[in-house]
């Protein structure tokens, strides 16, 4: 008689995974005790003995034994908004909220259409720019040199993504061109840019280009840096998209040709949708990397969120609270990166339906 399968209980799974042998038991005990010790100390430092109000700064200075979150209470505006005028910071906060809202709406299947998602992001980015820059609808103009903090980080990331993704698609299609001259030339351009450090590209666009281009073509330094970022992003993303295209069975495009579909119809309705589905994990990873690499603009004088964090404890009043400030900045990065990764996982689950 066949034995009836019994679903193992939670205790059974824990025993099998962590206590199945003497060695497993010893390692579980040691690392479990170490984890508990770390958690206990973090909770004690970050919550139990922490100082939460800037009014109690003296407790931090004389050693309270815990974190001094009073620096965040006192300097959070500087971290989030940088040099943006104090009385206009509501605009910066509203602009960031607009981008977050657009990101949330991007999860709605209704917008999973090239025209709709493009319109959504262009509208969101335009709203962000109008709020930040001003000069319209009675808003006081605030020039780019006064932008900073989290809002500048989001602006650079959103602009790089909006400019870089279309470029990546164009580069990938040119790299797959049936004309050898075009394909090889595009390959040389992509490989050359990918071989350069991002910092060298940033310095080239920020500092070298004004000596080469006429004044009317140079534009603001921030926009030159964004173009450099977008070009760097596009070259990496183009190879990701090309890999997704090459993973498609050749018969699909041939069948589309047999049905009389033109080149752009084949690309738009057959090739690219499946290529993006195949390349979704590395694409999300590329967006995550791009968001984190926005911090590099601090090297060429921009006051993004990390640089604003440096300024938050860069005075005599809070010079001992660097750990707390960097922890807060790390939390900001974690929230955005975790949201991107969860969005990618959600898309993978939804798009996997087509594979069943």
User: Would you state the pLDDT for residue 68?
Assistant: 84
Dihedral pair phi/psi, residue 95, rounded to 5°: -65, -45
pLDDT tens column, 4-24: 656 777 787 888 777 888 888
Q: How far apart are alpha carbons 293 and 233 in whole angstroms? A: 11
User: Would you state the pLDDT for residue 156?
Assistant: 92
pLDDT tens column, 82-105: 888 989 999 999 999 999 899 888
Q: How far apart are alpha carbons 73 and 59 in whole angstroms? A: 15
Q: How far apart are alpha carbons 67 and 55 in whole angstroms? A: 14
pLDDT band for position 268 (cuts 50, 70, 90): confident
Helices 149-175 and 305-312 cross at an angle (nearest 10°) of 160
Q: How far apart are alpha carbons 187 and 4 in whole angstroms? A: 60
The three-class DSSP label of residue 304 is strand
User: Would you state the pLDDT for residue 13?
Assistant: 80
User: Would you state the pLDDT for residue 231?
Assistant: 94
Q: What is the DSSP string of 210-250?
A: HHHS-HHHH--HHHHHHHHHHHHHHHHHHHHHHHHHHTS-H
pLDDT tens column, 214-252: 777 777 888 999 999 999 999 999 999 998 888 888 777
pLDDT tens column, 167-207: 999 999 999 888 889 999 999 999 999 999 998 998 888 88
Structure tokens at 186: 């595009």
Of 87, 88, 80, nearest in space to 153 by CA:
80
User: Would you state the pLDDT for residue 61?
Assistant: 62
Structure tokens at 290: 């791009």
Buried (b) or exposed (e) across 93-106, using 16+ Cβ within 10 A? Answer: bebbebbeebbeeb
- Give the pLDDT mean for 246-259: 79
pLDDT tens column, 53-77: 867 667 776 666 778 888 888 888 8
Q: Which has the minimum average pLDDT: 115-124, 163-172, 212-221, 291-300?
A: 212-221
User: Would you state the pLDDT for residue 169?
Assistant: 92
Q: How far apart are alpha carbons 117 and 123 in whole angstroms? A: 10
The three-class DSSP label of residue 5 is coil
What's the CA dihedral at 300, 163, 82, 309 to 10 degrees? -70
In the chain, what's the furthest Cα-to-Cα distance? 88
- Give the pLDDT mean for 308-319: 82
pLDDT band for position 356 (cuts 50, 70, 90): very low
The three-class DSSP label of residue 225 is helix
Q: How far apart are alpha carbons 337 and 282 in whole angstroms? A: 14
């Amino acid at each position: 008689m066949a034995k009836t399968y019994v679903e193992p209980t939670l205790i059974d799974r824990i025993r099998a995974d962590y206590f199945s042998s003497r060695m497993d038991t010893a390692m579980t005990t040691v690392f479990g005790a170490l984890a508990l010790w770390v958690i206990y100390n973090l909770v004690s430092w970050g919550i139990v003995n922490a100082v939460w109000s800037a009014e109690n700064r003296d407790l931090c200075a004389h050693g309270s034994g815990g974190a001094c979150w009073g620096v965040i209470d006192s300097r959070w505006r500087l971290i989030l908004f940088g040099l943006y005028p104090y009385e206009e910071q509501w605009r910066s906060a509203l602009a960031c909220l607009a981008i977050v809202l657009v990101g949330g709406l991007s999860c709605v299947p209704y917008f999973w259409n090239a025209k709709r998602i493009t319109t959504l992001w262009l509208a969101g980015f335009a709203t962000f720019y109008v709020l930040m820059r001003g000069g319209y609808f009675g808003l006081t103009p605030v020039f780019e040199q006064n932008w900073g903090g989290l809002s500048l980080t989001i602006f650079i990331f959103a602009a790089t993504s909006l400019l870089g993704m279309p470029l990546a698609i164009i580069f990938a299609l040119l790299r797959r061109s049936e004309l050898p001259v075009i394909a090889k030339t595009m390959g040389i351009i992509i490989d050359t840019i990918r071989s350069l450090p991002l910092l060298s590209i940033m310095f080239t666009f920020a500092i070298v280009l004004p000596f080469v281009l006429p004044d009317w073509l140079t534009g603001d330094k921030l926009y030159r840096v964004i173009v450099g970022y977008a070009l760097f992003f596009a070259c990496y993303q183009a190879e990701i998209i090309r890999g997704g295209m090459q993973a498609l069975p050749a018969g699909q495009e041939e069948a589309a040709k047999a049905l009389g579909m033109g080149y752009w119809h084949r690309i738009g309705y057959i090739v690219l949708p499946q290529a993006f589905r195949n390349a979704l994990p590395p694409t999300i990873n590329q967006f995550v990397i791009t968001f984190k690499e926005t911090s590099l603009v601090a090297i060429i004088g921009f006051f993004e969120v990390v640089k604003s964090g440096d300024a938050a404890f860069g005075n005599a009043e809070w010079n001992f609270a660097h750990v707390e400030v960097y922890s807060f900045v790390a939390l900001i990065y974690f929230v955005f990166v975790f949201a991107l990764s969860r969005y990618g996982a959600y898309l993978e689950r939804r798009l996997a339906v087509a594979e069943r």
